[in-house]
Structure 1
Amino acid sequence: METIIKTQTVTMSIDGQQVTVPKGTTVLEAAKTLGIDIPTLCHLKELAPDGSCRMCVVEVEGGRKGGLNTACTAHCQEGMVVHTGSPRVNDSRRFILDLLLSNHKLECFSCGKNGDCKLQDYCMEYGIDDTTFTEGKRMPCHQEDTSNPFFTYDPEKCIMCRKCSRVCQLRQGRDVISIAKRGFDTKMTPSYEASFDQSLCESCGNCVSVCPTGALVAKERKTHRAWETKKIPTTCPHCGTGCQMNLVVKGNKLVGVEPINGAANKNLLCVKGKFACYKFVGSGDRLTEPLIKRNGVFEPATWDEALTLVADKFKQIKANDGPDALAGFSCSRSINEDNYVFQKMVRAAFGTNNVDNCARVCHSASVHGLAHTLGSGAMTNPIADITTDVDVILLVGSNPEEAHPVIGAQIRQAMQRGTKVIVVDPRKIDLVKNSELHLQIQAGTNVAFANGMMHVILKEGLADRKFIEEKTEGFEALEQLVAEYTPEKVAEICHIEADDLIKAARLYATAEKAPIIYCLGVTEHSTGTEGVMSMSNMAMLVGKIGKPGCGVNPLRGQNNVQGACDMGCMPFDFPGYQKVANPEVIEKFEKAWNVKLNRTVGMTSTQVLPEASEGKVKGLYIFGEDPIVTDPDTNHVRHALESLEFLVVQELFMTETAAYADVVLPGISYAEKDGTFTNTERRVQRVRKAVEPKGSARQDFEIFCEVMTRLGYPCHYDSAKEIMEEIAAVTPTFGGITYERLEETGGLQWPCRTLDDPGTPIMHVGNFTRGKGLFMAIPYKKARELPDEQYPYLMSTGRMLYHYNTRAMTGRTEGINQIAGRSYIEINSVDAGRLGIQEGDKVKVRSRRGTIETYAAVGNRVFPQEVFMTFHFPDGNVNELTNAVFDDIAIIPEYKVCAVDIVPIK
């Protein structure tokens, strides 16, 4: 007999209206269901009630404390009668406001929050013009802190609601700001009353977003007032987290950003989302008209001139050398709709499958590896599911605090709640401080580490044999292989302690909920796909796939790298990972697009460039990518671009790659278009136009359609919405996704096959997408290039918090450059001492491929004889040094391992 569990409810009255709510509901929450707005200054709906501001007092008939209770802390009781606007309540609120004004700087006219200040709103509502408490000590004057490049703090405008402190400590996980002193001298301040620029503040701006007054206010607020602006909800254009936010628009200019309650971010943003999402859109160096290179110099051209030249040159190359002499690189930062039309242009008009996107150099190993073992090459579980209620997180080759900061903040929150985090990383990333265990493995040894974990799990009887028997195949070969990978052998390979490996294996295997989260530290290797398969091996071995709080979860790097892959911007896949090698798929798209298609699998970007160097690829169309900065072995990339017969670049700015083009076409930013992004958890979310494009710039998909038409394949779309309708028609996993449903739900996770399909938060529930999960027996192989006498240091690369990719966006935000304005190399203090290098010294770094100059960051984040660099900076571009050898399966470069030498510059 099925047991039906009923939620206990209570029925009570608020302002004469009866309401029934679940037991445990607060009066504040119950009032909201009735549309009754109770004022509050300290409430944060994501956190437990604080009850400190006292503005939300209500009168409860027969209640204690004279019948006045704070609505945010009072729980609804059966038969309770509440009055939210009685004379006693209003008098109490007026008294609170009077007290607040007694120690508040009244300069509303010049305050940046004028018109958007809760204290101001409530004072107007309750008729409070000034304080009646005219005597007594006041907050000391002239304490304003302007040291942070993005916001100011004025304690004279603070009302001690503690929202800033609570959001910083409990949501951002930094605990930068707290209460100091007593009485009228009490104020919120960073530790030791230091200035913000001397604190651990990450400039996320979440304290600014929740401040109800002008105490914490963005410096940009001086340029506008709330009533002059409109707010356009959209999706952040930076990492793959997919944070939801409002763009604040004054006239036709972006002037700010506010977080909103998206599924992935829940009202949080990072420094890039809060302060670096809008400056670049209005930057004065935006490309605004087509440019044609004549005699080595770019000259403005009309659209007709530029597109005629593009079409004529591509027609000529196609006629002389065949369609496979053409190729296109698509943009993982642009919308799904643009990417879909771009790959359609390459396939239907160019006549080739030589189309790719930057996933090639970051996460193609995830697409290949997980598709092969599980049946779908994407994150298995939602962000909230793997950070909210989990026992253990196995974090491998990922630094989410810097690469995916809002996910990093959610992992910090999980650690505060008791989640044990196992960090597997060659560096001491910040999460190590509060982690349960840090396995500081040598870069390039992920496969050995995973095999060692599985050896321990099997030896100690911790494998889920029932899951293995019923839902997987290939286990016998795996079991035989990992028998060789004893903890002692793996410890020697990975440079870790055998006991730590054993402890990690026990923690992960015995936890009820334990997701694997990984990133580029797993994928960007010559064995990247094998590393990804090793992650799925571990999860299947303990039955942690297809369940809440578990799974294998790659964090995608760029904002729409997932979507660009979903849309078919890969040489072997049509949209929805439908295989080019499958004749039925070709026939399907030939019918849908009404054109004969090339049946040959195309080349990846890392194959196209060498072919260009040899003169076999002659025409290349690059949309929104900058391979001179992002691809390994920069000299090799330069030679490839110089060898092309014709290069088209469609971009926002004159990038290093665009400088090599024959034609440059002005693209438009995310804020100037409608469409969708797909975030790391497969969630398709809306992007909405906030401002008009600059100059004569046109919608990107319209440009592709015009090129197609001029090449003899007529194509036209009236809107991005129309493109999504075509995507849904030809892509089964997107079959139920429409703009109407996205507006209604806020986002849908594919697979979403029909209009009544709610989407798929957790993949592989019940059965794997491929039927049975496939174990892959993978032996460890060394990285292709290891240190020697000539190049004695092992270098790895990665991201930093303040910059994004090539800095094309973040580099145009002054405050970001003030905090992080130059390249650096992390070097262990032992090596630095031996070389005579001190913090900040300039050094020369060289590899077999090139030489750069950068600045030393001395410490213990890396082991001796290992170093680390980010790839964001034009000074000291690390990709002059990195190795272009690639993964044989996913064709992904080995960014994470190369050998270098370091010499101090005296």
Structure 2
Amino acid sequence: MKQGSAQALTNDKTKVQPEAQTKDQANLENVALTIDGQSISVPAGTTVLAAARQLGIDIPTLCHDPELTNPGSCRLCVVEIEVPTAGGMMKMRNLPPSCVTAVSPGMVVRTRTETVVQARRTVLELLLANHPKDCLRCERAGSCRLQAYAYEYGADFPVAGSALDGERRRDPVDDSNPFIRRDMNKCVLCGKCVRVCAEIQGRHVLDYAHRGFATTVAPAFEKPLGDSDCVFCGSCVALCPTGALTEKTKAGKGRPWDVRRKVRTTCPYCGTGCNFDLEVIRRPIAGEPEEVIGVASAVDAPVNGRHLCVKGRFGLSFIHHPERLRRPLVKKEGRFVETSWEEALNVVAERFQAIQSDCGGDAFGVLASAKATNEENYLINRFARGVLGTNNIDHCARLCHASTVAGLAAAFGSGAMTNPIADIAKSDFLLVIGSNTTESHPVLAQKLLQAIGRGTPCVVIDPRKTELAAAATEHLAIRPGGDLALLNALAHVIIAEGLQDRRFIEERTEGFEELQAAVVACSPEWAASLTGIAPEVIRETARRYARAERASIFYTMGITQKRTGTHNVMAIANLALLTGHIGKEGSGVNPLRGQNNVQGACDMGALPNVFPGYQPVGDAAVRAKFAADWGLDTAELPAKAGLTVGEMLEAALVGELKAMLIVGENPVLSDPDSAHVVEALQRLDFLVAVDIFLSETAQLADVVLPACSFAEKEGTFTNTERRVQRVRQAIDPVGQSRPDWRIVVDLAAALGRPFDLADPAAVMAEIARLTPSYAGISHDRLDREGGLCWPCPATDHPGTPRLHVERFTRGKGRFHAVHYLPPAEAPDEEYPLVLSTGRRLFHYHTGTMSRRTELEAIYPEEHLEMHPDNAAHLGLTDGDWVRLSTRRGAISLPVRLTEGIIAGTVFTSFHFSEAAVNALTNSAVDPVAKIPELKVCACSVEIVDPPSGYLPPVGKRVLV
């Protein structure tokens, strides 16, 4: 039966473009036709399948997907079609597949005739002829499209020994990774996995192998998936119509019919803002709590559609991890003791009141959280200012995009991403600098890779040859610390060659002469010695950017985590102002926010100098507004800007800061010179930590209050494009944990300053009342309409996807003359190399969440990237253990040799406490934004023996 199966039908190579690309055909003439007696007019080029779906007519498909090209191979979507001939007669076409057949004038389509139904039944029976007979045990039972269509069309497995009873495959099941189980015996060769990997992800990990009955889908050289270049985004699983691809993380936790509900929410990892549905089950054991078993793709998710990264799809099991904090902890005689909420809150209130009485409000420091919701960060801001009486409030934006907030605010009047993610598809030129986008923002990187695949020129500027750099039109391997020299040289070329947009400069900017004078000496030849980039390459990059009709700049912490971070950002803004690539679609300056709600935490006033909405604490009218709403006297709100997180730690070291409240932050691992951080926290009289796990920072606390994860609370996150989106509670709080918003409300009440707020929706109403950019946003509206991009000043305002369209927030855009300054530390004889840090795809931030999931199995330890030339000089080979040292300390870890990093530099991440690289990084700061120079410091490397009993992890992924 090898040649009789429906697998033989996959040889048809007819293809059309994705359905999504055939809808936007407004300039084409419409075509009128009839489908099942219903008349419809659609643009020429529309497929019969797409036209039928517009009428609500269901046609079965296995190989078709609206986002992908169509092979028309499964033939399940066949229909009867009659078309008019020149003589006026109707001519019958022989059951063509509707997914690749374009409409034509006067066409008559019938989708459910007996002939059509019988043809579909035959196709299904041919597929079943070779399919395993294990439906009762299959993980996809209940959600398998082949199973559903077999039921609908009355198809069944052929009788044993009959003419249709075909040979079954006996391929081994691929269980080589923690996430995806591949059973190619159940594959119907629809090809969706191959196409989504190539066309959406841009990675081409899967393809067809062999011919005829032996045809299968496999990675290159038929390697196991765990040994391939797969990044485990899971899009292939989401699109697979059968049990050929299933999620191992859900195996044994429940069948599709066990899912009690799906709850739409927003991802808790990076700032891209992906939506998905949490799948919630309750086990049949009486009294057992509900459980989140995984996620389901959300077709209508505004940012990501059905597509996620490995963390969003497979990295959520931390929700139910046994190490979750379930009860409050109070440290007694140096050891934590579980206690009641009443006792824990009383201990905090008593100590806080005593410190406040003795030392005043400025003896406190508060760290808010980029992991917490907008509502929670707003309340933390209100608690710090209105209850404790201090502006000493900050959060991790100080370590990532504080320089963006300062630099873009000075240039444009707003320190946020100017354009929506969707504008990537509308750009004519992409400039990515200091951003490892494919690992830090994987779903957003899909959009960049898709644009590159369509032919959009892209230049990536990075010391490492990241995946995006390898795919780009041009990779400029810049020396660490050379960013400002390069940016000024680009401005020099644009002005020197007359490529600037003179009309835009004249009408919408100020300070051009100041910039012109500042960059006159910044020639490409001057910059070449500082950047390592050839002068002609610099010139060509400037020309490409300036001459493009619509050009976009994307950057992250490779730009901001420098002592010149604010000036780097201003230099990027200069380029956009010079060329007019701002305030229009497909353009803009786009800082990619790191954590899920770091944008929202800034918006909500988790900064020492501003109230929510970036309203200055020094403005008396602003203080009066907030004081009146909070039931305070204006004098009770301090007017002086508070301390940044680095300044708080310095104040703690000298005894000026007595107590801290740290909510969801882990500065022991995330801040520079972490030994210094530990010493500062230990000098405090009293430390309170609010977290979901006993992090390295929480271990130093006097009281630890157990918080809820994102799956256990209501609220909103604001993503990198300023899109405010809902977070919805899927399960009850784990143990006795409480959401951060309630913890803050309880603390305020315990301190005698109760907040009259019943739930997060009421908090958002207060935010809208006091924050002009959020004035039109409410939970009810977000539930009805989906996400809204601020500024959204009124309830009938649609939101603002693009900033600065007609005027800049500050009026006119401001050029800034910024001058090159070398890094705070330069290599020398003792420390001859440059250390840079960053992120890895399979983990996030300090690993608090990601290292308590299946992600840990595939990336269980960190390594140090080094160029082979440097390794040869030191006598190192791949996998050797080394001691990495700076002027602040040393750590040990294995080395990984790669030509993807420039000689003279080394790189590692800050996710692993066992290799806590931030014990080594430099705490020198940008004088404007006070952001530390985490990306550049001098270091040395020497070989050491591995730890006693060390064995290299099996299956470790290395993406270099």
TM-score (norm 1): 0.97
How far is the alpha carbon of 1:242 from its aligned partner? 0.6
How far apart in 1 are the matches of 2:392 and 2:196? 48
Match of 2:378 among 320, 340, 346: 340
The structure 2 residue matched to 1:169, chosen from 198, 205, 215, is 198
For 2:409, give the aligned amino acid: A
Helix, strand or coil at the partner of 1:253: strand
**Partners of 2:568 and 2:887 in 1: how far apart?**
26
- Report if aligned partners of 1:164, 1:211 keep a CA contact under 8 Å in 2: yes
Quick one: which amino acid aligns to residue 38 of structure 1? Answer: I
Could you tell me how far apart the structure 2 residues matched to 1:306 and 1:828 are?
52
Take 1:101 and 1:449, find their aligned partners in 2: how far apart are those partners? 61
The residue number in structure 2 matching 1:371 is 409
1:540 maps to 577
For structure 1, which segment, 243-252 or 65-74, has the greater mean C-alpha deviation from structure 2 after superposition? 65-74
CA deviation map 1:674-709 (0-9, x unaligned) = 111110000011111111111111222111111112
Matches of residues 168-317 of structure 1 in structure 2 within 5 Å? Answer: 168-223=197-252, 224-229=254-259, 230-251=261-282, 252-261=290-299, 262-277=301-316, 279-317=317-355
Q: Could you list the runs of 5+ residues in structure 1 that have no partner in the other structure?
A: none
> 2:548 and 2:643 mapped to 1: Cα distance?
43
* Contact 1:138/1:184, CA 8 A, preserved across alignment: no
Counterpart in the other structure of 1:560: 597
- In 1, the alpha carbon distance for the partners of 2:471 and 2:760 equals 45
Question: Cα deviation per residue 1:529-573 (whole Å; 9 max; x = unaligned)?
Answer: 111111110111111000111100000000000011011111111
How far does residue 142 in structure 1 lie from its aligned partner after superposition?
3.8
Tell me the residue number matched to 1:383. Answer: 421
Deviation of 1:834 after TM superposition, in Å, equals 1.2
**Residue 859 of structure 2: aligned partner:** 820
Is the CA contact 1:702–1:717 (under 8 Å) kept in the aligned structure 2?
Answer: no
For 1:496 and 1:136, how far apart are their aligned partners in 2? 65
Aligned to 1:840: 879
Structure 1 residue 444, shift from structure 2 partner: 1.4
849 and 134 in structure 1: CA distance in 2 versus 1, 3 angstrom threshold: farther
Which one-letter code corresponds to 2:273 in the other structure?
Answer: G
Instruction: State the number of aligned residues.
Output: 899
What is the Cα deviation at residue 751 of structure 1?
A: 0.6
Distance 1:29 1:745, change over 3 A: farther
**1:139 deviation in Å?**
4.6
Taking the TM superposition and a 5 Å limit, the aligned residue runs for 1:649-728 are: 649-728=689-768
2:825 is matched with which residue?
A: 785
- Residue of 866, 882, 888 corresponding to 2:921: 882
Task: State the alpha-carbon separation in 2 of the partners of residues 736 and 9 from structure 1.
Answer: 39
Cα offset, 1:892, TM superposition: 0.6
Q: Identify which of 358, 361, 384 aligns with 1:323.
A: 361
Cα distance, 1:266 vs structure 2: 2.1
Distance 1:488 1:142, change over 3 A: same
Q: Is the 8 A contact 2:417 2:589 kept in 1?
A: yes
Q: 1-side partners of 2:116 and 2:937: how far apart?
A: 69
Task: Report deviation, 1:69.
Answer: 2.7
Aligned with 1:807 (options 843, 847, 850): 847
Deviation at 1:25? 3.0
Q: Deviations over 1:484-513 (max 9, x none)?
A: 101100001112111111111111111112
| Residue among 849, 852, 858 paired with 2:897 | 858
- Counterparts of residues 733-772 of structure 1 (less than 5 Å): 733-772=773-812
- 2-structure distance, mates of 1:674, 1:8: 48
2:681 is aligned to: 641
User: Kindly, what percent of the aligned residue pairs are identical?
Assistant: 46
1:32–1:637 CA distance, 2 compared to 1 (3 A): same
CA distance in 2, matches of 1:247, 1:710: 34
For the 8 Å contact 1:103–1:184, the answer to whether it is kept is no
Equivalent position amino acid for 1:27 in 2: V
Is 1:350 the equivalent of 2:380? no
Partners of 1:713 and 1:136 in 2: CA distance: 76
Partner secondary structure for residue 801 of structure 1: coil
Deviation at 1:125, TM superposition (A): 0.5
Which is worse superposed, 430-439 or 57-66?
57-66
Match of 2:10 in 1: none
Counterpart position of 2:174? 145
- Among 566, 569, 587, the residue aligned to 2:624: 587
- The CA distance in 2 between the partners of 1:159 and 1:259, in whole Å, is 22
Check whether the contact 2:69–2:195 (CA below 8 A) recurs between aligned residues.
Answer: no
> Counterpart in 2 of 1:61?
82
Residue of structure 2 equivalent to 1:87: 114
Is the Cα contact below 8 Å between 1:139 and 1:184 reproduced in 2?
no
Q: 1:789 to 1:61 in 2, by over 3 A?
A: same
Say which SS state the counterpart of residue 923 (structure 2) adopts: strand
The C-alpha deviation readout for 1:338-360, integer Å capped at 9, x for no partner, is: 11111111111011111111111
Q: Is 425-434 or 605-614 further displaced after alignment?
A: 425-434
Q: CA deviation at 1:525?
A: 0.5
Q: Give me the whole-angstrom Cα distance separating, in 2, the residues matched to 1:138 and 1:179.
A: 20
User: Pairwise CA RMSD of aligned residues?
Assistant: 1.4
Q: Give deviations 1:845-902, integer Å, cap 9, x for gaps.
A: 1111111001101111222211111111111111010011111111111100001110
Alignment of 1:72-151 (within 5 A): 72-131=99-158, 134=163, 138-151=167-180
Q: Which amino acid in 2 is paired with 1:254?
A: V
Q: Deviations over 1:252-299 (max 9, x none)?
A: 11111122232221211111011002x000001100111110110111
Asked if 1:38 corresponds to 2:70, the answer is: no
Of 941, 945, 948, which residue of structure 2 is paired with 1:902? 941
Inter-CA distance 832–225: structure 2 relative to 1 (3 Å threshold)? same
Q: 2:951 maps to what in 1?
A: none
Structure 1 residues 792-843: Cα deviation after superposition (integer angstroms, max 9, x where no partner) = 11111111111011111110113x2222111111111011111111111110
Residue 506 (structure 2) aligns with: 469
Query: SS of the counterpart of 1:490?
Result: helix
What is the match of residue 530 of structure 1? 567
Conservation of the 8 A alpha-carbon contact between 1:113 and 1:221: no
Q: Which shows bigger deviation, 769-778 or 125-134?
A: 125-134
- State the alpha-carbon separation in 2 of the partners of residues 164 and 47 from structure 1: 10
Deviations 1:693-732 (A, max 9, x none): 1111122211111111222212132221111111111111
Aligned-partner Cα distance in 2 for 1:76–1:724: 49
Residues 32-57 of structure 1 deviation map (CA, whole Å, 9 limit, x = unaligned): 23322211111221223332221122
Are 2:101 and 1:70 equivalent residues in the alignment? no
Post-superposition CA distance 1:109-158 (Å, at most 9, x none): 11111111000000010011213665686353142111122111111100
Task: Tell me which residue corresponds to 1:18.
Answer: 39
1:631 matched to 2:671: yes
